[in-house]
Structure 1
Amino acid sequence: MSTEGLQTRSSVPAEQKWDLSDLFTSHKAWVKELHTLEKDIQRITCYKGTLHKGAAQLLECIKAYETYLERHIQVSTYASLHLSTDGSDPKRQHDAAKVAALTARINAQLTFIETELLEMSEEKLEQFKREEPKLNHYEKMLKDILRKKPYTLTAEVEETLATLEEVHQAPYTIYLRSKSSDMVFEPIQDGNGKELPMSAALYEEKYEISADTTVRRNAYDSYMHTLEKYKHTLAATYATEVTKQVTLAKLRGYDSVTEMLLQPQEVTLEMYENQLDIIQSELAPHMRRYARLKKEKLGLDEMRYCDLKAPLDPNYNPKTTYDKAREIIIDALKIMGPEYTEIIKESFTNSWIDWSNNIGKSTGAFCSSPYGSHPYILLTWTDTMESAFTLAHELGHAGHFYLAHKNQTLFNTRPSTYFIEAPSTMNELLLGNYLLDKTGNNIQMKRWVITQLLGTYYHNFITHLLEGEFQRRIYDLAEKGTPLTADVLSTQKKEAIQSFWGKDVIVDDSAGLIWMRQPHYYMGLYPYTYSAGLTISTAVARKIKEEGESAIQGWLDVLKAGGTLSPLELIKKVGIDMTEPDAIKTAVQYVGSLVDELEKSYE
């Protein structure tokens, strides 16, 4: 059984869990608020059909909606976080389903706000803002809605689509449920024949980066063997998601599904394609050199796809406990100033972080930041520096949204997803630079830290970027009417991987199943934004190194701005222009310089 050797959620020590009582003091209190929310919807629906009557009426409605939405966010976050720590628990599944059903009903009833605003002329809306200046606090919300005007359907159709929101989310729900509750992985053996427990979390957080080639390859085989069993079901699930997006794009009159998905990001097609094209073409030669170096130093018969994350120096992998990593991360981020440092410290002392490894826990890592409360971070700790970098990454999200929530109202907190990964990857770079400064003349330690930094770029410039390339291929096929079977999806994924690595890496057929690994494909054009965020943070980290305090203060101002500015405006506040390819090329060159340093260290 894949769960052998793993603890149940109930047996996880309290110090390894987050504390959700800051959201709701008890499950009973959550249930009460859930029911109250459904009743209180009338406090907003009473404004239906009246928003055109006056500025005061419109302001009252928006303020009531904002307050209601904050409560709903906390209710839904509580259920989602509970489910993420044990997706196999039927009670947690039931609670999540109840929230999903309620959300669909709420969204359907509240479509009138957007519809009535879209029916209002721009002249009238401007008049209302002059009459009631407080409406200007909601400028971002109003702009976001008005951008949809050319693509909005009739009020009746919009309400119908909102009613079907639970159905629209079904592919994502099915994917998560299948991965957390149904997938069983066979145990593996190490080089000595010892049996080891196997799970998706163990593979992704431990075995994939193991120095033991036998463990690494056996774990890969076990992982892929299980994915193979589910490929047809999950292919149908993902195909449904893609068909939904393509159909909605046509229904609303967009030229393409890509145009529809980029619109809320406020990103041009050229910016999107620059990220995909420039990184794939210009980064590949550097990373192929890195793959050849690994093959040589690890003495591998061949560099397989499953060997790419193997440590370059298997004999030097200093263990890092959670407590030690906490100290290192806090010290590394002190450069950001006292206010930011206190946020990081509080995340550790006030149980914002869930770092256990238990049955049913969601794989990977994330940070959830409900407005009106504090951020929550989930990861599976493995006593490796890889986990420390992951934790620093999620703390970047936490620090960002803590500052945005503190300085902005709810509707002004969330920036474009094009920017969203910049604060998180910034923390990874700050941690890497801090560790490099501490290495002194220790060549082996310096080499190890460089590989950690390269791990950051691998994750964002290769793993997630190739997810983005896969999406581009799949949406193109879907719009041409190609059926998205498991074989089609796997072929496209393998081709994207092989195209990047060329002849330097053996990409087996099983690698094509990697499209089943991430939930990102159910989140629109999200994967490629990791590379955009790291491109931005690379440029800002360089500015911090060169300019010091002024660059740090400028970055903090950007974090506090939340979503009040477009991504291009946010980035320009720190002197970076993402409409040109220069920042991308500079980031790629920096990765190349890291590979150069590694090669020189062995001369």
Structure 2
Amino acid sequence: MSEILKERRELDPQDQWDLTRMYASDAEWETAFAAVDPQIDAMPSWEGKLNTAEEIRGFYDAYTDLFRTLGNLAVYANLRLSEDTRAADAQSMEARITAKYVRAISGIAFAQPEILSLPDETMRKILQDPRVEPYRFVLEDLVREKPHTLSAPEEKLLARFGEVFGAPKNIADNLMDADLVFDPVQNQAGETVELSGSNYILLQTSEDRTLRENSFRSFYKTYRQHINTFAASYSGAVKASVAEAAARHYSSSRAMSMAGENIPEPVYDNLVSAVRGHLPDMYRYVSLRKRILGLQELHYYDVYAPLTQGISARYTYDQAKQMVLDAVAPLGEEYCSIVRKGFSERWIDVYPNKGKTGGAYSSGSYDSSPYILTNFTGTLDSVSTIAHEMGHSMHTWFSNHTQPPQTADYTLFVAEVASTVNENLLIEHLLSQPDMDPQTRLALLNQYLENFKGTVFRQTMFAEFEREAHAMAERGEALNPASLNALYEGLVKDYFGPELVMDEEVRYEWARIPHFYRPFYVYKYATGYSCAVALSEAVLREGEPAVKRYLEFLHMGGSAYPLDELRHAGVDLTTPAPVNAALDKFGRILSQAERCVEEVERQTKK
């Protein structure tokens, strides 16, 4: 096996996203970049005037137009940088638009404190004025956060620290995506295989255990060599969050992060408690994996190994597109037609190349189509990733085509729902195929179990890591390599149980999790997946009524609080019931997988 990454110019442009629908060229972007300065410079002129419905409406119109333009510029720069993180021109674009964003935010820092300083009676009358109707929800949400909004000079000062607060993430991103170099590794046949951040997980899914182990040890050897830098950057990110929470009079950085979406903290703690209550099922899964692989010891580099030949099947990109379309068919023709549009209009940047950002994401601005970055390798997981990211993009599409700019952005709390609905529909579609042999069925069930493992169990483990790391900083404890390694290692032991051998390298895994630099985001994967289980099952069970509720949810964007939007779709996360129901399904899928293993073993003995 030899995995050689190509330079981007060597790939077929038809397999790359088409950014010309945003800007025809980088030169056109530069023209638009320069032209936005007058808008930024005009914003401070509103200071001292925000005391009537007319002036507030005028300010928000100008604000919306400005940040709509900045959003276009920022998304394009970020997409260009993702293509090749080594590219100096893209790095420059990203840095300059970030600085301009910070300048724009600094220039409007007066607005929220000024509006919130109005007498309550004046604010009530303004909220009832028809002139502010397009911004009523925005203003009501602003009033909700009044106790945590600082004075105008203080808000302006905090805004000016935007780049400083973002520096730890930038340091970690550059280290991971551009600077880390991994030693090549050998497979069982003695062939040399290139190792990179983008192909590491692919190598961990190889049937070649020698390759899995060698890539695992090489990968974390490099992280260990830089662990002091990673610890310093993460400590800086946590301390920045803790400092801002204290300045804004929140009880903790977690309370501040969750308040932005109006999510009660018990939602987080209920998730952790529910998942910990179902850890015996995860231990069963670890044992089943060890049994199928026929190993005396199960190591961390075995947790992604394929359990059957079926899971090692490879698919072309064209096959992947059709599989996704077949899977989402229950959501109706309108939904499917837009998915087809995304495929034909090159929303997707498909294959890995040297310097390309690893992983996958969906992005886009209000005025652009959605864009999807993947590093497609032909595995079933890669197909699932396309379904996942297309779910994000469809949520964005419906929101942007229904809501005005000020309420189009859905919150992070609901962001993972649409993506995992698509993942679940894909697996359910594949499992519904007739005359399936036990090994193929086991492969699909294992993919389902892997989705639960990665999205509910692991993300909740990450959520516990974040909760404790931030609490440690708030108690004045050091966030150094020793403390962070020990915290992470202990959680892995708790979540995967006694059957898993704890290799020394495991303790460094926290350093490669980029979401830790977006405080208290990862728990939303787990809550989102739990909601997605409920919604996808409702779609398949009820048909049109559930589809209608779900599509209405996708159209809501950010026009309501996320818990209210989910209730509209049919899920209530103020109770632990959705999480427990999802984990109960994990147990049922696991039981099916265990029966498949027994059937395979019986057939093997014949």
Q: TM-score range, shorter-chain basis?
A: over 0.9
Residue 436 of structure 1: how far off its partner (Å): 0.8
Aligned partner of 1:389 in structure 2 is 384
Q: State the 1:4 CA deviation.
A: 8.3
Q: Is the 8 A contact 2:417 2:529 kept in 1?
A: yes
The alpha carbon displacement at 1:316 in A equals: 5.3
1:540 paired with 2:535, answer yes
2:467 to 459, 472, 496: 472
Query: Hey, what does 1:361 align to over in structure 2?
Result: 356
Please give the alpha-carbon distance, in whole angstroms, between the structure 1 residues aligned to 2:128 and 2:146. 22
- Counterpart position of 1:102: 100
Which consecutive aligned stretches of 4+ in structure 1 deviate over 3 angstroms post-superposition?
none
Deviation at 1:439, TM superposition (A): 4.3
Instruction: Among all aligned residue pairs of Structure 1 and Structure 2, give the percentage whose two residues are the same amino acid.
Output: 29
Aligned to 2:239: 243
Match of 1:255 among 251, 256, 273: 251
Paired residues of 2:187 and 2:210 also in contact (CA < 8 A): yes
SS at match of 1:200: coil
Is the counterpart of residue 422 in structure 1 residue 417 in structure 2? yes
Residue of 190, 199, 209 corresponding to 1:213 = 209
Write the distance in 2 (CA, Å) between the matches of 1:153 and 1:563.
Answer: 24
Residue from 166, 191, 198 that aligns with 1:194:
191
Cα distance in 2 for residues equivalent to 1:286 and 1:34 = 53
CA spacing shift, 1:162–1:315, aligned 2, 3 Å: closer
| 2:140 is aligned with 1:140 | no
The answer on whether the counterparts of 1:366 and 1:377 sit within 8 Å (CA) in structure 2 is yes
After alignment, is 193-202 or 105-114 more displaced? 105-114
Q: Determine helix, strand or coil for the equivalent of 1:367.
A: strand
1:484 aligned to 479, 483, 502, which one?
479
Cα deviation 1:507-540 (Å, max 9, x = unaligned): 2221111111121011121001100001101111
1:176 equivalenced with 2:173 (yes/no): yes
1:529 aligns with 2:528: no
Indicate if the aligned counterparts of 1:140 and 1:411 stay in contact, CA closer than 8 A.
Answer: no
Q: CA deviation at 1:177?
A: 0.9
Change over 3 Å in CA distance of 1:316–1:135 after alignment to 2: closer
Can you give the 5+ residue segments of structure 2 that lack an aligned partner in the other structure? 599-606
What is the letter of the counterpart of residue 120 of structure 1?
A: L
State the match for 2:58 in structure 1. 60
Take 2:188 and 2:400, find their aligned partners in 1: how far apart are those partners?
50
Instruction: Please point out which of 226, 230, 238 is paired with 1:234.
Output: 230
SS of residue in 1 equivalent to 2:198: helix
The SS at the match of 1:237 is helix
Q: CA offsets, 1:8-30, max 9 Å, x none?
A: 12222202211111111110110
Query: Could you tell me which residue of structure 2 aligns to residue 401 of structure 1?
Result: 396
Counterpart secondary structure, 1:267: coil
Contact 2:127–2:139 under 8 Å retained in 1: no
Aligned to 2:147: 150
Take 1:230 and 1:468, find their aligned partners in 2: how far apart are those partners?
Answer: 23
Counterpart in the other structure of 2:22: 23
Paired residue for 2:454? 459
How many angstroms does 1:596 deviate by?
0.1
**Deviation digits for residues 277-306 of structure 1, max 9, x if unmatched?**
211231x21121111111111122311122
Show the counterpart of 2:299: 304
Are the counterparts in 2 of residues 266 and 416 from structure 1 also a CA contact under 8 Å? no
Q: Distance in 1 between matches of 2:508 and 2:280?
A: 25
Partner Cα distance (1:74, 1:233) in 2: 33
Distance 1:116 1:569 in 2: 29
Q: Distance in 2 between matches of 1:394 and 1:543?
A: 21
Pairwise CA distance, 1:545: 2.1
Q: Alpha-carbon deviation of 1:252?
A: 1.5
Q: What is the correspondence of 1:159-174 to structure 2 with a 5 Å cutoff?
A: 159-174=156-171
In the aligned structure 2, how far is the partner of 1:123 from the partner of 1:522? 40
Alignment match, 2:109 = 111
SS at match of 2:451: helix
Indicate if the aligned counterparts of 1:439 and 1:445 stay in contact, CA closer than 8 A: no
Q: What does the per-residue CA deviation read over 1:229-286, in whole Å, with 9 as the maximum and x for residues that have no partner?
A: 111011100000101111111122111121111101211111111112211231x211
User: Does the 8 Å contact 2:466/2:519 carry over to 1?
Assistant: no
Specify the code of the residue in structure 2 equivalent to 1:164: F
Contact in 2 for aligned 1:185/1:226 (Cα 8 Å): yes
1:594 is matched with which residue?
A: 589
Residue 547 and residue 159 in structure 1: after superposition, are their counterparts in 2 closer, same or farther (change >3 A)? Answer: same
Distance in 1 of aligned mates of 2:333 and 2:131: 33
Please report how far the alpha carbon of residue 547 of structure 1 lies from its aligned counterpart in structure 2 after TM superposition: 1.0
Q: Counterpart of 2:73? A: 75
Q: Quick one: distance in 1 between partners of 2:378 and 2:140?
A: 46
CA contact (8 A) 1:144 1:264 kept: no
Whether the 8 Å CA contact 2:552–2:569 is kept in 1: the answer is: no
* Cα distance in 2, alignment partners of residues 301 and 404 from structure 1: 51
Give the letter aligned to residue 244 of structure 1: A
Number of positions where the alignment pairs a residue of Structure 1 with one of Structure 2 = 597
Q: In structure 1, what residue type is equivalent to 2:324?
A: I
Which whole-Å CA distance do the structure 1 matches of 2:311 and 2:106 have between them? Answer: 57
Q: Distance in 1 between matches of 2:120 and 2:560?
A: 20
| TM-aligned CA deviation for residue 457 of structure 1 | 0.9
Distance 1:524 1:158 in 2: 20
SS in 1 for 2:477: coil
Moved more, 231-240 or 41-50: 41-50
Partners of 1:87 and 1:181 within 8 A in 2: yes
The one-letter amino acid of 2:491's match is: A
For residues 437 and 189 of structure 2, the distance between their equivalents in structure 1, rounded to whole angstroms, comes to 32
Cα distance in 1, alignment partners of residues 545 and 486 from structure 2? 49
Q: Provide the rounded CA distance (Å) in 2 between the counterparts of 1:576 and 1:440.
A: 34
Deviation at 1:315, TM superposition (A): 6.2
Q: Which moved more, 1:315-324 or 1:450-459?
A: 315-324
Letter of the 1:177 partner, please give it: N
Within the alignment, does 1:319 sit opposite 2:318 as a pair?
A: no
Counterpart amino acid of residue 79 in structure 1: A
In 2, the alpha carbon distance for the partners of 1:291 and 1:311 equals 13
Q: Is the 8 A contact 1:85 1:360 kept in 2?
A: yes
Helix, strand or coil: the match of 1:287? helix
1:198 counterpart SS class: coil
| Counterpart in the other structure of 2:604 | none
The superposition leaves residues 28-86 of structure 1 with CA deviations (integer Å, 9 ceiling, x where unpaired) of 1101111111222234332221111x222211111111111111000001111111111
Rounded to whole Å, the distance in 2 between the matches of 1:113 and 1:346 is 40
The unaligned stretches of length 5 or more in structure 1 are none
TM-score (norm 1): 0.97
Q: Which moved more, 1:424-433 or 1:363-372?
A: 363-372
Q: What does residue 413 of structure 1 align with?
A: 408
Across the aligned residues of Structure 1 and Structure 2, the Cα RMSD in angstroms comes to 1.5
* Range moving further from structure 2, 139-148 or 583-592: 139-148
- AA in 2 matched with 1:277: S
Contact 2:112/2:149 (<8 A) preserved: no
SS of equivalent to 2:189: coil
Q: 2:121 — aligned with what?
A: 123
Segment of structure 1 superposing worse, 104-113 or 237-246: 104-113
Partners of 2:454 and 2:33 lie apart in 1 by 38
Give deviations 1:93-134, integer Å, cap 9, x for gaps. Answer: 111111111111111001122222221233223312433x14
Aligned counterpart, 2:488: 493
SS at match of 1:377: strand
Q: Give the drift of 1:430.
A: 0.5
CA deviation after TM superposition for structure 1 residue 421, in Å: 0.6
- Give the residue type in structure 1 aligned to 2:101: T
**CA separation of 1:420/1:315 partners in 2, compared to 1, >3 Å: closer, same or farther?**
closer
In 1, distance between residues paired with 2:586 and 2:519? 28
**Structure 2: distance between partners of 1:492 and 1:415:** 33
- Structure-1 separation of matches of 2:502 and 2:102: 42
